[in-house]
Structure 1
Amino acid sequence: MFSRLQRFYTSIKVATDIFMLAVAFGLAYATRFIGIIPVTDGIPPLDETLVSLVMVLVIFPVTFHQANLYTTNRSRTHIGELFAVFKASITATLILVALTYFTRERYSRLTLALLLGYSLVLVSVTRLVLRLALAEVRRRGFNLKTILVIGEGELGRRVVETVRDHRELGFRVVGVLAQDLEKARRKVRGAPVIGRVEDVERVLDEQPVDQVIIALPLEQQLVVKQLMEQLALRTVDVKVVPDLYQYITLYGGLEEFGGLPIISLQGDPMDGWSRVAKRAFDILFSLVAILVSGPVMLLTALMVKLTSRGPVLYQQERMGMDGRTFHILKFRTMRTDAEVAGARMASEEDPRRTPIGTFLRKYSIDELPQFFNVLVGDMSLVGPRPERPVFIEEFKRQIPRYHLRHKVKSGITGWAQINGLRGQTSIQKRIEYDLYYIENWSVTLDLKIMWLTVVRGLFQRSAAY
């Protein structure tokens, strides 16, 4: 029954993709030859247009199939689905261009470029609509895959909770097998305990199960091995949840090294295209910010020079990504002898401030030169605020996971700052917010933080010191 439903759903996806691709081709043709773009080399003959259309309707679905866009992947996110469509569409377009070149069917390249744009929008939107519709169907209890969980401990409870909290993925726990029935409760997070681990074959014989998830602690690896030998003779899908949650700190997961599977306990949160996107974002917006705030910075520099002796800019050593130090730039807001007695954190109404220092700090104007730190790559627009090395060693000893905030570049503003954690506030809470940002980073989140910095954070009285 389930396989028939899956084939039906797959056929809907294929038919919808083909229809949307045909519409995209029609729109591209109309835009190029009937729309506002001047036609200089004439309109292609009908037979060439039909040949190109057939090639599109064959190459794109085949490429989508090779990219596993027609296979069941209930754990793939909406963003993951759209990104997979994007990559497959680019690949299909390159194949199409290559074939039209070598076969000398040199159809309009501009039309093919328009086809790519239209197909990305139409296919992505229809797939998103289909996913949302299917998620709603699954929430109502239809098209569900059944799961048997082996293990009643912490790992087993996490599996059951995850399935329960994400009903849109289409899974249902039919039962839990416990190692010790006397210690196990009748239910694990609402799922019934239906036997012992040794009863796995009997349970699989008595009721249909699509997936078995083994969630046993590390000390039970011998039991896991025995279970794998038993389940190897079955057609049921088998998955193992590794008992490594207590060791994984940031961006851990399963990796591959030359075909060798490796479990990463601590990884780089921004790598590859994510790092490129964030750096491009920083360069673009820092340039714009420098141009827009240029007059304000010139006026501020003049005011600092006229109201106190000493340099206009203050350079202070801070620690950034990977523990590297750099010199952060600020407009000077304190006297030149402010740290003669040693380094100490600034405070509200600090007596060491210059006459204009309080005003500059209140409205964060002293932070404007840091856009140059961003431009040269020392900092990012958004990220954890950098601290002075003299204080960091103490924080590392006092606060667990403090060092993880140095996995990314420091920022002018951050998730902690827009939530009111600026100046003399709890370091522990700041770390919680910083790690949340790192684990959930996206360009959209950066834009949200920047907007809220202007609306909420920039004018808070407890500005960063």
Structure 2
Amino acid sequence: MIRRSQGFLSQIYAATDFACIQLVFLFSWWLKFRSGWIDFEPSLPVENYALWSVIYALIVIGIGYLSSFYTPKRKKRFSYELFTIIQIYTISLFVLLSLLFIFKELNLSRSYLLMFLVNSILLVSFYRYILKFSLKRLRRKGFNKQFILILGAGTLGRNFYHNLMQHPELGYEVVGFLDDYHENHEPGFESYSSIIGRVDELESVLNSELVDEVIIALPLTAHSKYGRIINTCEKAGVKTLIIPDYFDFLPSKPYFDNFAGMPLINVRDIPLDEMRNRFFKRLFDIAFSLTAILITSPLLILIAIGIKLTSPGPVIFKQERVGLNRRHFMMYKFRSMKVQSDNSSDTKWTTENDPRKTKLGTFLRKTSLDELPQFFNVLFGHMSVVGPRPERPFFVDQFKEEIPKYMVKHHIRPGITGWAQSNGLRGDTSIEDRIQYDIFYIENWTFLFDIRIIWKTIINGFINKNAY
């Protein structure tokens, strides 16, 4: 019943959202003007606020429908729904403010509108979470099921079936498999749903069985059958999803792109490919590095004097590193070693009791103070405050042959600190582990993630036991 009434359920969702917004209006009105906690008299009668509350609710619902907010979200996590709620309700408020300006309704309390927005988001998010949690419990008990037919009983199909069975809260039941080469599952897979026919029998199976979605898990050699399969499913009104046979090569978040009018699978979703994300990250880098330079300027001067007094040679050590898009740049550090040839410094690791280090240099490296000049690299655009640590060209050429996906780190600017470093992977630690952390950061970047890494770096301290 529920499965066949999704359109009706969407209307129920919209009606509930409308009711929630009106409840929030009453609560926010009482809190602002009648509770006595905020000593303020409304400049407009309650009827004016009620009218704009109804208009705001209609705007929310309209934008919700336009952004597919009221479509089924069985496969989506609640975090996705929460982010969408915040977006829709905030955008709707800006639309409301525009209407207030156009109709010269300028006496509405701005603090009331902010309170109204926050309370609306909180209430709607709360009831959506309770609803999602309740639906998951019902699905675990066998209610509100959707039925799936898997085409292909090979490795792809079996892997999908196995993963699906790990999530009973999604409420999916596999009707069976269709396969051209097997009548029964191989030994060890007897517990899987039965193979109920061949792929060519798809139309008759859809007519005889209750199926909501067809999962195509066929090898690339069966590519010629896809067109007929999809046409058959659409004729029966059944959704079709395709598992690519090359999914092992894809990262966790591939996405479709468009190039020259052709759809392409972009094998790696990088948030910093978006201009707005790069802009805000760069703006933060400039502000943070300028602040850091100003705050640490007395320390920078003292370290420079100390280096000059304790060993002959320049204060700043410049070394070539590989950065964004594999471009080379000169990275700045306070010199912590005796002056040596460029070839030696570019191709040798520093060891624990390295005789090239100066006494002051040993302290600077242990405390990471030798890296303070890299804030100038950030200002010049060579680096970011947060990102994968840059490496020397000699070792990049070596690691890219030895470590899978090593070069992915060069899709974004390198950083002074990173997700790997904030988790203790600094100095003489596993390069393979660092790359895994770097790739996770690249694929999951957010502004708050950067703040978290900076905070974690500060909390963990700058003393590095692995720094030689």
TM range (shorter): 0.7 to 0.9
Match of 2:135 in 1: 134
Q: Tell me the amino acid that sits aligned with residue 383 of structure 1.
A: G
Distance 1:62 1:383, change over 3 A: same
Range moving further from structure 2, 155-164 or 336-345: 336-345
Post-superposition offset of 1:352: 0.6
Distance 1:342 1:115, change over 3 A: closer
Match of 1:412 in 2: 416
Give the TM-score normalised by the residue count of structure 1: 0.87
2:400 aligned with 1:390, yes or no? no
What pairs with 1:225-240 in structure 2 (closer than 5 Å)? 225-240=227-242
Taking the aligned partners of 1:437 and 1:102, their CA distance within structure 2 comes to 44
Q: Tell me the amino acid that sits aligned with residue 460 of structure 1.
A: N
Q: Secondary structure of the equivalent of 1:228? A: helix
Give the count of matched residue pairs: 463
Range moving further from structure 2, 312-321 or 77-86: 77-86
What pairs with 1:141-152 in structure 2 (closer than 5 Å)? 141-152=142-153
Q: Secondary structure of the equivalent of 2:382? A: coil
Distance 1:184 1:239, change over 3 A: same
Match of 1:348 in 2: 352
Q: Secondary structure of the equivalent of 2:144? A: coil
Taking the aligned partners of 2:278 and 2:168, their CA distance within structure 1 comes to 33
Identity %: 39
Post-superposition offset of 1:127: 2.4
Taking the aligned partners of 1:102 and 1:452, their CA distance within structure 2 comes to 47
- Determine which of 300, 309, 325 is the counterpart of 1:297: 300
Q: Tell me the amino acid that sits aligned with residue 299 of structure 1.
A: L
Match of 1:315 in 2: 318
2:92 aligned with 1:92, yes or no? yes
Taking the aligned partners of 1:407 and 1:191, their CA distance within structure 2 comes to 42
Q: Tell me the amino acid that sits aligned with residue 231 of structure 1.
A: C
Post-superposition offset of 1:262: 2.4
2:66 aligned with 1:66, yes or no? yes
Q: Secondary structure of the equivalent of 2:51? A: helix
Taking the aligned partners of 1:427 and 1:265, their CA distance within structure 2 comes to 23
Q: Secondary structure of the equivalent of 2:235? A: coil
Taking the aligned partners of 1:260 and 1:88, their CA distance within structure 2 comes to 31
Match of 1:180 in 2: 181
CA-atom RMSD, angstroms?
A: 3.1
Unaligned runs of 5+ in 1: none
Match of 2:18 in 1: 18
Taking the aligned partners of 1:376 and 1:32, their CA distance within structure 2 comes to 49
- Conserved in 1, the CA contact under 8 Å of 2:184 and 2:194? no
Post-superposition offset of 1:220: 0.6
Distance 1:143 1:178, change over 3 A: same
2:401 aligned with 1:400, yes or no? no
Match of 1:153 in 2: 154
Deviations 1:164-201, CA, capped at 9 Å, x for gaps: 23333332323222231158427759531322323323
Taking the aligned partners of 1:88 and 1:440, their CA distance within structure 2 comes to 22
Match of 2:82 in 1: 82
Give the TM-score normalised by the residue count of structure 2: 0.87
Taking the aligned partners of 1:137 and 1:275, their CA distance within structure 2 comes to 43
Post-superposition offset of 1:341: 4.7
Match of 1:244 in 2: 246
Match of 2:218 in 1: 216
Match of 2:122 in 1: 121
Taking the aligned partners of 2:450 and 2:248, their CA distance within structure 1 comes to 29
Post-superposition offset of 1:387: 0.5
Post-superposition offset of 1:27: 4.8
Taking the aligned partners of 1:188 and 1:177, their CA distance within structure 2 comes to 15
